[in-house]
Amino acid sequence: MFVDEAELTFVSGKGGKGCISFRREKFRPKGGPDGGNGGRGGDVILAADSHKNTLIDFRHVHMLRAEDGRPGEGNDRTGRSGADLLVKLPAGTLVHDADSGELIVDLDRPGMRQVIARGGRGGRGNHAFTTSTNRAPRLADPGAPGQELHVRLELKLLADVGIVGFPNAGKSTLISRISACKAKVADYPFTTLAPNLGVVERFREFPFVVADVPGLVEGAADGKGLGVRFLKHVERTTVLLHLVDASRGTPSTDWRAIRKELSSYSASLADKVEIVALNKVDLVSRARRNQLAARLNRTLQAFGRRSLLLSGATGEGVDELLKALASAVRASRSSPETESP
């Protein structure tokens, strides 16, 4: 099951209390205070894991705690520190303060780690309170409490290419053909109910990741259909692949409709590099496909674009499309604006 939002509370470990103890040994009846300090509480550490792509592990989890520090002991022995809590989240997860909405950390790089709650300091034992005027102190610190943080997790998948289009435009068929992703394919709208990720390895020296999201409908930006909920998963992509269904017979109208929804959702999303492909050309005659392509290209010409002919079902035009996508992704990765600081 795909889950891209969750709320839970992280609690770091509290520090162990200091020890009140006095040395009692043969021939040393007044050996003095020897209470050790308490151990430090464990931290809460978040880590971005590229092998995870859903927050389902946290769907029914309400609280996660790091280990508390152990109390100090006699003979000046410091208590054991609490174990840190390492929480693995999908790469691309944003962590917000659930109360204020403030962004705490964006785990936008695989392998990235961030401490979000520090463990409490261990309390001092009575040995630490010894002075020249107080040779036998009978007090110790209780240890500092841990930090408690109520957070909202929001996942935005990391991908190089995001596939958009109307329902049944052939997105799932295409991603199944160009990658090892086995997306559900059927002849009815909204076959895709959650984003699919696929790795394109056609060019071994330059693999890239493609995301297929549920189809958009007109009015999606106002809450209609399923796609708008998942558009956040293509916000991080650098290239949009816009599939237009040739079998509908209205390529220019369809392209403009989806562009309108993208612009309504996010100006930055609409400004991304876009590659347009007229898909399902195997379902129309050659004369008809040329007519539809010419009609679509007249519309795209004003925006400096041109469409590609494609059939995800038969594989026609797939190689040309992948070369265009690889070139666009390579250009975006080498651009100074997209390089990580």
* Choice among 7-21, 212-226, 259-273 with the minimum mean pLDDT: 212-226
Whether the CB-CB separation of 49 and 155 falls below 8 Å is answered with no
Whether the CB-CB separation of 191 and 184 falls below 8 Å is answered with yes
Q: Do 161-338 and 1-155 fall under one CATH topology?
A: no
Determine the average pLDDT of the residues in 113-123. 97
Convert the pLDDT of each residue in 268-324 to its tens digit.
888 899 999 999 999 999 999 999 999 999 999 988 889 999 999 899 999 999 999
DSSP alpha helix (H) spans, 5-83: none
Band of the pLDDT at 246, cuts 50, 70, 90?
very high
DSSP-assigned states of every residue in 102-138: -EEEEE-STT-EEEEEPPPPPPPPGGGG--SS-SS--
Determine the average pLDDT of the residues in 22-48. 89
Residue carrying the six token digits 């008809």: 288
Determine the average pLDDT of the residues in 51-66. 90
pLDDT given at position 227? 56
Encoding tokens for residue 73?
Answer: 């002991």
Please state, in angstroms and as integers, the Cα–Cα distance from residue 249 to each residue in 142, 201, 310, following that order: 75, 33, 15
Q: Where are the domains of the chain?
A: 1-155, 161-338
Q: What are phi and psi of 304, to 5 degrees?
A: 70, 30
* Choice among 94-108, 282-296, 322-336 with the minimum mean pLDDT: 322-336
Q: Which CATH number fits domain 1-155: 1.20.1090.10, 2.70.210.12, 3.40.47.10, 3.90.320.10?
A: 2.70.210.12
Whether the CB-CB separation of 105 and 90 falls below 8 Å is answered with no
Q: How many CB atoms lie within 10 A of CB 209?
A: 18
Provide the whole-model pTM: 0.75
pLDDT over 60 (residue 193): no
Band of the pLDDT at 100, cuts 50, 70, 90?
very high
Strand-pairing partners, residue 210, are 161, 198
Q: Which CATH number fits domain 161-338: 1.10.10.410, 3.40.50.300, 3.60.21.10, 3.90.25.10?
A: 3.40.50.300
Residue 94 DSSP SS3: strand
| One-letter amino acid of 133 | T
* Choice among 145-154, 223-232, 239-248 with the minimum mean pLDDT: 223-232
pLDDT over 80 (residue 185): no
Determine the average pLDDT of the residues in 161-169. 88
Encoding tokens for residue 98?
Answer: 């659930």
